[in-house]
Structure 1
Amino acid sequence: MNTPVVLSAKGVDLFYGETPAVRNAEISLSRGEIVAITGQSGSGKSSLLYCLAGVLPVARGEICFEGRPLGALDDEELSAIRRERFGFVFQYGELLPELTVEENAALPLRLVGQRKSEALAAAGEVLDRLGLADLRQRRPSQVSGGQCQRVAVARSLVHRPAVVFADEPTGSLDSNNATAVLEEFLCLARSQGAAVVLVTHDVQVASRADHRYTMCDGVLTAEVREVS
């Protein structure tokens, strides 16, 4: 049985001034699918990610989320989708220093109006799965880099989004922490049925994806895996 496509892009172009950043990109993701985009710095991979997330408006082409063209939505509708249906993980976590670990993890639920007690309880469950049960009341400055990134993973998945956008999610970590965080992130995302767009320069990280793409000078190319 085919899984419905949750996010797709067709013929997408993006320019910075007159400089092309993304050229005629096409990609699609189904529920629970993990797609990795690799490429050198400046290749356009992060720009494409932010187009897919509706953060950057495209010059040409169409991006659809659950069959709805993002370009046809107004700012309020786009913001609601990013807030309620999308999750984000960034290279350096981007946690709020004034909040505790559990408050950071609960933030997406608070932003959609869930009561604080319920949001913290839900965040606690995800933090437990990531081995952070004893760190809930600490501030980001009081935990390690690997632990901060696990909190960022919890925050990206606590509201059970349809799609998670991960931009170099392990790029700031040493190899041991990177492997552990990636394993926990992808395992949790798969268990929730979230699709993941994973941007990375690390081919080992990309190898964990269901499908891989490479990007060079704004051109996206699907990799064909050899069948052994």
Structure 2
Amino acid sequence: MLSATDVDLYYGETLAVRGATMSISRGEVAAIMGQSGSGKSSLLYCLAGVVPVSDGEVRFEGRVLDYMEDEELSMLRRERFGFVFQYGELLPELTVEENAALPLRLLGQRKGAALAAAGEVLGRLGLGKLRKRRASEVSGGQSQRIAVARALVHKPTVVFADEPTGSLDSANAQAVLGEFLAVARSQGTAVVLVTHDAKVAARADTHYTMHDGVLTADDRVTT
């Protein structure tokens, strides 16, 4: 469903990703582990079509992302992809449900239907009672759950998660990750998860390790 073949990425003269090759099936959870500066986030952004590769190619459902027009690629990211970042990146002036509904609103869905869909996902993540609160009024763990709801509300084909629990304590991290993966798996959504935490990576179906820009595949595990 999603693949990278011999991907290189340069920032100026600095090689951030070198010859990365991987593939992800529909509904699969893949973890890319590595220390800070190893290139794992750079590879994630290449896979998501946010950063164009310097060499090699990334394909989604058989199509090369770099061959797409900008408008087509932007629509792909809005319709088929979801994103979760380390610090949630919520809009503080909006309510919890308005934040979670943003992908649907950007796709043109009416406000009432979008908020209803957001409420359903928020309920599955234990946030149903917080729907009307401002995002600025919730805790860090709750904020990250809202970000997860926003990434999943439009039932994307794949979610790209960059250190999604990195800002949380260990208890909150495991709870948020468990809820995130449970909803993703129930929807058949694939997840590409970047992390430096072995406990987080252990929840994935497939493990990769990134070191100095070089990606290696570990043995496939069943969770």
What TM-score range do you get, normalising by the shorter chain? over 0.9
Q: TM-score, normalised by structure 2?
A: 0.98
CA deviation after TM superposition for structure 1 residue 207, in Å: 0.5
Runs of at least 5 residues in structure 1 that lack an aligned partner in the other structure: 1-5
In 2 relative to 1, CA 166–135 (structure 1 residues): closer, same or farther, beyond 3 Å? Answer: same
1:208 is aligned with what amino acid?
Answer: R
Match of 1:103 in 2: 98
Please point out which of 173, 179, 196 is paired with 2:174: 179
Q: Which amino acid aligns with 1:72?
A: Y
Q: TM-score, normalised by structure 1?
A: 0.96
Give yes or no for the alignment of 1:131 onto 2:112: no
Match of 1:146 in 2: 141
Partner of 2:78: 83
- 2:195 maps to 200
Aligned to 2:113: 118
Gap regions ≥5 residues in structure 2: none
- Relative to structure 1, is the Cα distance of residues 25 and 151 closer, same or farther in structure 2, using a 3 angstrom cutoff? same
Residue 224 of structure 1, CA deviation: 2.2
CA distance in 2, matches of 1:169, 1:113: 27
Question: Percent identity among equivalent residues?
Answer: 76
Residue deviations 1:137-172 (CA, integer Å, cap 9, x gap): 111121110000000000000000001000000000
Q: Match for residue 22 of structure 2? A: 27
Q: Aligned equivalents of 2:50 and 2:221: distance in 1?
A: 35
Structure 1 Cα separation of the partners of residues 84 and 192 of structure 2: 10
* Partner of residue 164, structure 1: 159
Moved over 6 A (4+): none
Deviation at 1:28, TM superposition (A): 0.6
Write the deviation string for residues 40-81 of structure 1: whole angstroms up to 9, x where unpaired: 100000000000000001011110111111011010011000
- 1:98 Cα deviation (Å)? 1.1
**Is the contact made by 2:205 and 2:220 (CA closer than 8 Å) also made in structure 1?**
no
Task: Give RMSD over aligned pairs.
Answer: 1.1
Partner Cα separation in structure 1 for residue 220 and residue 40 of structure 2: 20
User: What is the identity, as a one-letter code, of the residue corresponding to 1:150?
Assistant: R
- Give me the whole-angstrom Cα distance separating, in 2, the residues matched to 1:225 and 1:31: 15
Residue 226 of structure 1: how far off its partner (Å): 8.2
Aligned with residue 214 of structure 1, among 206, 209, 213: 209
Q: 1:70 to 1:185 in 2, by over 3 A?
A: same
Count how many residue pairs are aligned between Structure 1 and Structure 2: 222
Separation of aligned partners in 1, 2:221 and 2:158:
27
| Distance in 1 (alpha carbons) for counterparts of 2:107 and 2:209 | 35
Distance in 1 of aligned mates of 2:33 and 2:117:
33
Equivalent residue number for residue 65 of structure 2: 70
SS in 2 for 1:10: strand
In the other structure, the counterpart of 2:43 is 48
Q: Distance in 2 between matches of 1:114 and 1:224?
A: 42
Residue 153 of structure 1 aligns with an amino acid whose one-letter code is: V
